[in-house]
């Protein structure tokens, strides 16, 4: 690896990969690490991916470990992996909790979730607003509305 990204850069790169990784992270990893940041050449990327696929465990997590360690040793691995895993873990737990709370409602009126999904997607993915703010604004509105619908239903 030619440049030696800082711990903060490693964290944010893998954070960005994780948060745009709808349906799988591999294409976003390549876009980010090869095309956007230039940390890896296309050949490096394939070679690193080979190594990561040959080892057990989630491939993209392995990749964060390898890229992080090449840049900054074990600290780099920790920074990259926590950028990758930390926030998505919180997001899925929140989604899981909301789902089990409002499952009956979603079964009868699945479309009420659509505007929120769309708003969240536009705000985070396309307008690139910071995720915590989006969550702070959208989540309470969504929960209150869902609560009211729930009582009426």
Partner 1 sequence: MKSDNVLETLAVQFATLSLVAFGGANVVIPEIHRQAVDVHHWMTNQDFAALFAIAQAAPGPNFLVTTLVGWKAAGLAGALVATGGMCLPSCVLTYWVAKAWDRYHQAGWRIAIGAGLAPVTVGFVFSSAFVLIRAADNSWKLFVVSAVSAAVAFFTKLNPLWCLAAAAVLGLAGLYR
Residue 66 binds partner 1, judged by CB under 8 A: yes
Residue 56 binds partner 1, judged by CB under 8 A: yes
Report the site for partner 1 in 116-145 (rule: CB under 8 A).
Answer: 121, 125-126
Question: Closest distance between partner 1 and the C-beta of residue 97, in Å?
Answer: 8
The answer to whether the CB of 45 falls within 8 A of the CB of 111 is no
Question: Closest distance between partner 1 and the C-beta of residue 32, in Å?
Answer: 10
The answer to whether the CB of 34 falls within 8 A of the CB of 3 is no
Query: What six digits make up the tokens of 127?
Result: 């307008």
Residue 101 binds partner 1, judged by CB under 8 A: no
User: Phi and psi of 23, rounded to 5°?
Assistant: 75, 10
Q: List the one residue from 85, 119, 129, 139 that touches partner 1 (CB under 8 A).
A: 85
Q: List the one residue from 7, 12, 37, 59 that touches partner 1 (CB under 8 A).
A: 59
Token match 């009868």: residue? 108
If you count them, how many residues does the chain have? 153
């Amino acid at each position: 690896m030619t440049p030696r990204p800082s711990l903060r850069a490693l964290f944010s790169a893998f954070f960005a990969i994780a948060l745009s990784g709808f349906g799988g992270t591999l294409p976003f990893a390549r876009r980010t690490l090869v095309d956007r940041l230039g940390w890896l050449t296309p050949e490096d990327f394939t070679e690193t991916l080979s190594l990561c696929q040959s080892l057990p465990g989630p491939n993209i997590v392995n990749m964060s470990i390898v890229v992080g360690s090449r840049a900054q040793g074990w600290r780099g691995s920790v920074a990259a992996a926590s950028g990758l895993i930390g926030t998505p873990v919180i997001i899925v737990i929140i989604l899981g909790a909301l789902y089990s709370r409002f499952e009956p409602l979603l079964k009868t009126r699945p479309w009420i979730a659509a505007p929120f999904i769309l708003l969240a997607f536009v705000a985070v993915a396309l307008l690139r607003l910071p995720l915590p703010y989006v969550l702070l604004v959208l989540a309470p509105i969504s929960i209150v509305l869902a609560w009211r619908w729930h009582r009426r239903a």
